[in-house]
Amino acid sequence: MREAIQTDKAPAAIGPYSQAVKAGNMLFCSGQIPIDPASGELVSGDIAAETRQVMRNLGAVLEAGGSSFAAVVKCNIWLTDMGSFAAVNEVYGEFFKDGAPPARATVEVSALPKGARIEIAAIAVVA
């Protein structure tokens, strides 16, 4: 069985997709960009501030789907500048302090939706 997950605590989807889909005991979270869900605008600031907003958005979707960062098994990160890798890692690590961090891929891309500089997607287990 498949269930679409939606929360107002994260930005609404900007296309024909769900914020996440729960299938069995797995939660597949769509990529999050640094949009403030209250304003609908990209957050301003450096890549650390943008990463922190992405992770807050992702956390809200995980929670809505009955999961958490502790249950994430895989993340994908897309950056428009691999030069921001260290700063992104520092903030990202703040959200995965308990236990082993998830598997991950990080790639540089030429562009992301709405001009964002970072996007992160996750797959998690639902208890």
Residue 1: predicted pLDDT: 87
Residue 123: predicted pLDDT: 98
Report residue 73: phi and psi, to 5°: -110, -20
Residue 109: predicted pLDDT: 98
This prediction has a pTM of: 0.96
Residue 127: predicted pLDDT: 82
Please, what are the averages of pLDDT over each run of 10 residues along the chain (127 residues)?
Answer: 96 94 98 97 96 98 98 98 98 91 98 97 96
State the total domains in the chain. Answer: 1
Q: Which domain holds residue 17?
A: 2-125
